[in-house]
Amino acid sequence: MPWHGQMTSKKVMDSAPDGDAVGGARWLNGQAVGVVPVTREQRAAAGRAVRQLVPRSSHGEWSPDPQRPDPVELLQEQASTRIQELVPLRYGRMLRTPFTFYRGAAYLMASDLAGSPRTGLTTQLCGDAHLSNFGSFAAPDRRLLFGLNDFDETLPGPFEWDLKRLATSFAVAGRDRGFGSGTRESINLAVTRAYRRTMLEMAQLGRLDLWYARLDVDEVGERLRALLKPREVKQFERTVAKARAKDRTKAFAKLVEVVDGQPKFVGDPPRMVPLDQLFAVEEHQRVWEVLSEMLDSYRRSLNGDRRHLFEGFHFVEAALKVVGVGSVGTRAWVVLMVGNGVDDPLFLQVKEAQSSVLEPFLGKNEHASHGQRVVEGQRLMQSASDILLGWIRADGLDGVSRDYYVRQLWDGKGSADVESMKPAGMRGYADLCGWTLARAHARSGDPVAIAGYLGSGDRFDRALASFAETYADQNERDFAALEHAAKTGRIETESD
């Protein structure tokens, strides 16, 4: 049953017969020539009709397939395209706790979700929507916003995949914090309840109003002050203050030293390795030329005004940097540029964009490069994005063509301290993440159809809360499997 789908792809539009209705418009030679009147009531009815095919309660059911792949084999497969010297560090970070394991196990969960019921209600997915991939970042107007901040795995897909990963992350984190089953259930329910209620609200908005909807950090503070104890409120305020101070000036003070008037990155192997520690002196000219070509490729991905801004800076230094948990082993560079002198720095993170973990199960990305896939997905899901967000497709220092995306380093980025959260704090944070994910999905999907499917009751909420606990059990089994692989020498690990 068709409905007005904002997420209709150009591929589908181009393949539609002339005069056929696709996504609410009539298409002739690939161009929209008229609007088909599809009311909110019709779209909501289409969403409700999906319940007949995929009952909401079915999302609470999950058990491992008898032919489920070995989780260690899947992780090794994923690691095959990464810097092999860093793979043991990735495993070491994953083996700290079941929650850090979960952060690095998006590929495993995507493989499992591929066999689960699918609503067919498509939106742009984050692809790795766990709770630590939400946080603050600076909007172009320099206000701190709260939202999703990691899009390496973004791809169109069924909305419930992101929501299942998010709800499960709270179940796993709650176990790490030692919360009881009743407390965890209330937190899990808070995620999906907030998502459902927000989607119902978004379904009533005009499309421009929905596009402008955002959650700034000051509003987050107001919400949390009504929920948290004074000590927890102070912790939140300290986190916000830290994020506000996390700018290019702070990055320069922490990451750079000035030697004979020339700024240089401070080496901290393997977490930060400057160019002069990676390559012999006789290779420096070649390295400089390759990196300059990469930056020129990035420059061409920017809009004209932002390209003009970027051209006011010049390249000074770069370093290979290890980031996160799931990303360890991908090629991530931090680049230092200066504008009006050394006291006017610009830091860019140039991060390799490999295939999304969702692609084997949801189909190939339709963009020219994975860097563009990440950037376009981020722009669809975020209410405001970094003005210097761009992408690169270029030959790297080893001569192999790779995709990268580029953004400013730090720039107001902050995240919640999950390891110190009390139950009330985690419950409040679950509510914020549920709201944020619903708003992000509503921008690219059809909020009316999704809201029609979810409904006004809590049946879907309870199903997802149940799934989260069941899959948290599977996460613990997979964590134990990786531990066993490390103990028996099947994999090598390194701790930092």
- The pLDDT > 70 percentage for the chain reads 93
Q: Is residue 459 assigned to a domain? A: yes
Identify whether the C-beta of residue 350 lies closer than 8 Å to the C-beta of residue 147: no
pLDDT for 198 equals 97
Full strand arrangement of the beta sheet holding 31-35: 21-22, 25-28, 31-35
Shared domain check, 156 and 191: yes
- 168: how many CB neighbours lie within 10 A of its CB? 27
Identify whether the C-beta of residue 310 lies closer than 8 Å to the C-beta of residue 299: yes
- 216: how many CB neighbours lie within 10 A of its CB? 17
Of 385, 408, 431, which marks where a domain is finished?
Answer: 408
Averaged pLDDT for residues 255-271: 90
Shared domain check, 212 and 94: yes
What total number of domains does the chain contain?
A: 3
pLDDT for 31 equals 52
Averaged pLDDT for residues 325-342: 91
The two counts, helices (H) then strands (E), for the chain are 20, 15
Q: Is residue 349 assigned to a domain? A: yes
Positive or negative, the Cα torsion across 471, 53, 377, 445? negative
The confidence band for 428, taking pLDDT boundaries of 50, 70 and 90, is: very high
Shared domain check, 403 and 427: no
Residue 337 pLDDT more than 90? Answer: yes
The confidence band for 292, taking pLDDT boundaries of 50, 70 and 90, is: confident
pLDDT for 219 equals 87
pLDDT for 36 equals 54
Location of structure tokens 């908005």:
205
Shared domain check, 204 and 71: yes
Position with higher pLDDT, 408 vs 38? 408
User: How high does pLDDT run on average in the chain?
Assistant: 89
Shared domain check, 232 and 282: no
The confidence band for 47, taking pLDDT boundaries of 50, 70 and 90, is: very high
Location of structure tokens 């032919």:
67
The confidence band for 417, taking pLDDT boundaries of 50, 70 and 90, is: confident
Shared domain check, 318 and 177: no
Residue 142 pLDDT more than 80? Answer: yes
Shared domain check, 434 and 333: no
State the residue range of the domain holding 196.
48-242+422-487
pLDDT for 21 equals 37
- 134: how many CB neighbours lie within 10 A of its CB? 22
Identify whether the C-beta of residue 425 lies closer than 8 Å to the C-beta of residue 419: no
pLDDT in tens, 143-179: 999 999 999 999 999 999 999 999 999 999 999 999 9
Kindly state the tokens that stand for 308: 């003009």
Q: How far apart are CA 359 and CA 95, in angstroms?
A: 26
Q: Is residue 306 assigned to a domain? A: yes
Looking at the chain, how many residues does it have?
A: 496
The confidence band for 22, taking pLDDT boundaries of 50, 70 and 90, is: very low
The confidence band for 247, taking pLDDT boundaries of 50, 70 and 90, is: confident
Shared domain check, 110 and 25: no
Identify whether the C-beta of residue 310 lies closer than 8 Å to the C-beta of residue 302: yes
